[in-house]
Amino acid sequence: MLRDRHRFRRLAWGALAYTLLVILWGGYVRASGSGAGCGAHWPLCNGEVVPRSATAETLIELTHRVTSGLALPLVLVLLAWAFRAFPKGSPVRKGAAFVVAFMVLEAAVGAGLVLFEQVAYNASIGRAYWMASHLVNTFLLLGALTLTAHAARGGAMPRLRGSGRRGPLVGGALLGLLVLGASGAVTALGDTLALGGGLDPAEEPVVATLVGLRLYHPLLACLVVGLFAWAVYHVRRADPGGPAAFLGLVTLALMLVQLAVGLVNVQLRAPIPLQLVHLLVTDLIWIGAVLFAAEALGAGQYTRRPLRASTA
């Protein structure tokens, strides 16, 4: 049983790393305008399982579909393994179930983007809502994977009940990061349409609106960083040398790096490699914030010591 749990932990962290790679490739699909590479067809690509004559855009989109498709059986294995290796009521089982649910929803959102042609250089306000919701679900998926891996090593799950003042502070910081992430997704869409697609904001009102939002995104980022720093400060006061304080400081450092990356990204007019770096750091910040919340608000019976004792 102990060996099964060790292997499960490796699988859980591996699934998280693989999902990050899929997300980055999806970011490349969006930034390169390749989302319509398979036409308005899903799950087929241009009406075929394997396109006979494929453009670069088709290959990019098809690769994303294949790698995304492999993620679903991976998390199904994770769920089955969780039920095999952990007892009834374990947060690992619940976390793995949420992972599968969010992965299915992620696939549904991706399919909707294609079928409703909210891809490539489609400049509609509806697409902005699609991108924001896609980002929120991606964050929830990453959060579920992170908490599942964390619980598998004996980490407690975050709880608001009994957390005192820390609960609203940490929860508010996480909510702020969700809103900031959605804002970033919409801002990135504006860059794709105006810079990658060459759509003139003067002629496209939607593009003008999206580009105009670029000013507010860094302001919102500074506000969220301040909110998160406040939460870290209160957690450190209660437990200066604890893992929550350490994770909070590491995540804050990543946020400062992200502010610098964002500034350079704007100055260089959002080159694709830098957009991908920005996306990666965004995801790492979210993962760090989720772990910080788990340690800061963790409570209950699934702590590190009982888990080790029960598997000895």
Tell me the per-residue pLDDT of 165-199, one tens digit each, with 9 for 90 and over.
889 999 999 999 999 999 999 999 998 999 888 89
- Rounded to the nearest 10°, the torsion over CA 90, 91, 97, 101 is 160
Segment holding 42, helix H or strand E: none
> Which structural domain range is residue 141 located in?
2-310
* Total number of domains constituting the chain: 1
Q: Around 93, how many Cα atoms within 13 Å sit in the side-chain half-sphere?
A: 9
The sign of the dihedral angle between the CA atoms of 244, 247, 251, 252 is: positive
Tell me the three state secondary structure of residue 45.
Answer: strand
Name the pTM for this structure. Answer: 0.91
**Given this model, what pLDDT does residue 54 score?**
80
Residue 310: which pLDDT band, with cuts at 50, 70 and 90? very low
Query: What is the phi/psi pair of residue 13, to 5°?
Result: -65, -35
Residue identified by tokens 């909210």 is: 118
Query: What is the phi/psi pair of residue 48, to 5°?
Result: -130, 155
Residue 46: which pLDDT band, with cuts at 50, 70 and 90? confident
Q: Tell me the pLDDT of the chain averaged across its residues.
A: 90
Q: What is the pLDDT of residues 254-267, one digit of tens each?
A: 999 999 999 999 89
User: At residue 62, does pLDDT exceed 80?
Assistant: yes
User: At residue 72, does pLDDT exceed 60?
Assistant: yes
**Given this model, what pLDDT does residue 306 score?**
38
**Given this model, what pLDDT does residue 65 score?**
93
For every residue of 156-177, DSSP letters joined together read PPB-STT-TTHHHHHHHHHHHH
What is the DSSP-derived secondary structure letter of residue 155? P
Residue 311: which pLDDT band, with cuts at 50, 70 and 90? very low
- For 224-228, the CB contacts below 8 A with 24+ separation are 224/173, 224/176, 224/177, 224/179, 224/180, 225/252, 225/255, 225/256, 225/259, 227/169, 227/172, 227/173, 227/176, 228/173, 228/176, 228/177, 228/252, 228/255, 228/289
Beta-bridge mates of residue 298: 158
- CB of 38 within 8 A of CB of 46? yes
- Top pLDDT among 163 and 55 is at 55
Q: What is the pLDDT of residues 73-107, one digit of tens each?
A: 999 999 999 999 999 999 999 999 999 999 999 99
User: At residue 130, does pLDDT exceed 60?
Assistant: yes
Q: What percent of the chain has pLDDT over 70?
A: 95
In Å, the largest CA–CA distance within the chain is 68
**30: nearest Cα among 157, 254, 197:** 197
User: At residue 305, does pLDDT exceed 60?
Assistant: no
**What's the CA gap between 312 and 306, in Å, rounded?**
10
Residues 6+ positions from 26 with CB-CB distance below 8 Å: 64, 68, 110
**Given this model, what pLDDT does residue 195 score?**
86
User: At residue 239, does pLDDT exceed 80?
Assistant: yes
What is the DSSP-derived secondary structure letter of residue 44? S
User: At residue 309, does pLDDT exceed 80?
Assistant: no
The sign of the dihedral angle between the CA atoms of 117, 122, 125, 127 is: positive
**What's the CA gap between 308 and 172, in Å, rounded?**
33
Residue 299: which pLDDT band, with cuts at 50, 70 and 90? low
55: tokens are 């453009």
User: At residue 307, does pLDDT exceed 50?
Assistant: no
**Given this model, what pLDDT does residue 1 score?**
67
User: At residue 304, does pLDDT exceed 70?
Assistant: no
